[in-house]
Amino acid sequence: MMTNDLLKIDLTTFFLSISSAAFMGLGIVPTPVGGGRSLDLELARQNIDLLELMYEKTQGNRSPEEDRLIEQLLFETRMTFVEKLKELKRKE
């Protein structure tokens, strides 16, 4: 049986969840089912867009720690996305 602590989600957890989904789409993080890795740039882009939306919509309402986290996650996911695109172009 799950406790209330397991069901509780905060902004930090939400940001990390979105970025994990982006990294799954980028083939960096294994999928929860099967543990495999696959490249799905559409999934990655959607989750990066969602992080950007959350960045905009929560501005002024985040703690300094949450600010640093979402800025770092946006940087890392965007840079990884660009690197994956470059890899695909080189393979063409």
The predicted structure's pLDDT at residue 6: 64
Q: How far apart are CA 72 and CA 69, in angstroms?
A: 5
What pLDDT score does 84 carry? 95
The pLDDT value recorded for residue 3 is 53
Low-confidence ranges of the chain (pLDDT < 50): 1
**39 phi and psi angles, rounded to 5 deg:** -90, 120
What is the pLDDT at residue 83?
96
Work out how many domains the chain is built from and give that number.
1
pLDDT on residue 33 = 79
The range of the structural domain enclosing residue 71 comes to 4-91
Q: Which amino acid is at 71?
A: E
Q: What is the pTM of this model?
A: 0.86
Bridge partners (DSSP) listed for residue 66 = none
